[in-house]
Amino acid sequence: MMRTRPLKVALLGCGVVGSEVARIMTTHADDLTARIGAPVELAGVAVRRPDRVRVGIDPALITTDATALVKRGDIDVVVEVIGGIEPARTLITTAFEHGASVVSANKALLAQDGAALHKAAEDHGEDLYYEAAVAGAIPLIRPLRESLAGDKVNRVLGIVNGTTNFILDKMDSSGAGYQEALDEATALGYAEADPTADVEGFDAAAKAAILAGIAFHTRVRLDDVYREGMTEVTAADFASARQMGCTIKLLAICERAADGESVTARVHPAMIPLSHPLASVREAYNAVFVESEAAGRLMFYGPGAGGAPTASAVLGDLVAVCRNKLNGSNGPGESAYTRLPVSPMGEVVTRYHISLDVADKPGVLAQVATVFAEHGVSIDTVRQSGKDGEASLVVVTHRASDASLTGTVEALRKLDTVRGVASIMRVEGE
């Protein structure tokens, strides 16, 4: 039987995503009612600038007092799309205290305080859903914590930031330099006026923390994630990648150790073979590659940002949470039973591509090879070119730990024949 009393929703934030959430709730009201089993009513919208015209939203719903809105007591679900740590954290916990479940797109807050928020939701018998926090419209969190709940995930490898993927794709396809590609991304609206969170990997690191925690049933905070940005990637790096049959992507990588006793989470640029599915992810799209024991390799692909795509994920969570409200039940909460430690970056094992500027004279290659051998790093291939007394030496290793590679590079810098280390890049996806 269809319930006639509507479920009331409070919307915190009415920017690019929030306005799309409100629009879809209005235009798809009948479909949402049919799918949920009860009408859904937008009961209030908290904003910072109330004078701004918001097409399709009743001005009577607009308020600047978000705290009063979540404390009303008749709100069933709070949708938080304001971002940042505060006041979002306080508003979410206040919503739980006053009988509302929460749908959030706040990756930074969840990566920093996800455990505390899950505990607050559990203590008050409410839901915390956040599909939109990681990959926009791409269904990813729900498959990881529900569809794969009976499986064992060993690795999550993905492109989770559209801005950086657009920039790197332009550098690869057109030969543009970093700044030129960033300028184009900014002009097209893919990059913020201050792109630091994207290009320095902070955005992807927050998403990696969330993914690792869900995939491995352990707590991973933002501080646990190793992070490198992609501002130092050059056209020369792409040329080297092409010679190896690779391209370069900014990757979020979450792995379970071979012995199963620890996990790692990291974000950095990496070369990946053109044969890998992630290599073909173009422009501002996202994709995440999941490797599990029973299901094998799965890939999730689609738009990772934007108002309508992100709102789609928010509305999917809203439907699920409203159904739970009607049934008097709760969806999955935090699963952190494994309590696995997060290993430091020095213990991560992968392949490396190292480009050295060296003197063009006999014996240089032998000296360099000796340094690699002394640090236990096995060389896979070497490519040397040069003239007029200067040369470039490119070394690709077999798998080695980050700590051993760091020691190798420090020793190489001390050689008289090594003029400098032009670039170091990891090779993933093999």
Q: Point out the residues that are catalytic.
A: 207
* pLDDT above 60: residue 225: yes
Average pLDDT over residues 225-252: 95
Spatial distance between the Cα atoms of 197 and 345, rounded to a whole number of angstroms: 21
> pLDDT tens, 141-161?
999 999 999 999 999 999 999
pLDDT on residue 429: 84
Query: Model confidence over 377-422: pLDDT tens digits?
Result: 999 999 988 766 678 999 999 999 999 999 999 999 999 999 999 9
**pLDDT of 364 higher than 60:** yes
The whole-number pLDDT of residue 389 equals: 66
Residue 329 has pLDDT above 60, yes or no: yes
pLDDT score at 384: 87
Which pLDDT score is estimated for 3? 67
Q: State the pLDDT at residue 229.
A: 97
CB 313 within 8 A of CB 131: yes
Write the pLDDT tens digit of every residue in 166-178. 999 999 999 999 9
Q: Which residues contact 323 (CB under 8 A, 6 or more apart)?
A: 36, 37
Question: Which candidate, 365, 349, 360, places its Cα nearest to that of 405?
Answer: 349
| Element at 322 (helix H, strand E) | helix 307-327
Dihedral (CA of 178, 181, 183, 186) sign: negative
Q: What's residue 388's pLDDT?
A: 66
With a pLDDT cut of 70, the percent of the chain lying above it is 99
CA-to-CA dists, residue 123 to 116, 117, 210, 328, 335, angstroms: 10, 10, 21, 15, 15
CA distance 160 to 274: 18
Asked whether the predicted pLDDT for residue 4 surpasses 90, the reply is: no
Q: State residue 387's pLDDT score.
A: 65
% of the chain with per-residue pLDDT over 90:
90
The answer to which of 59-63, 104-108, 305-309 has the lowest mean pLDDT is 305-309
Q: 265-283 pLDDT, tens per residue?
A: 999 999 999 999 999 999 9
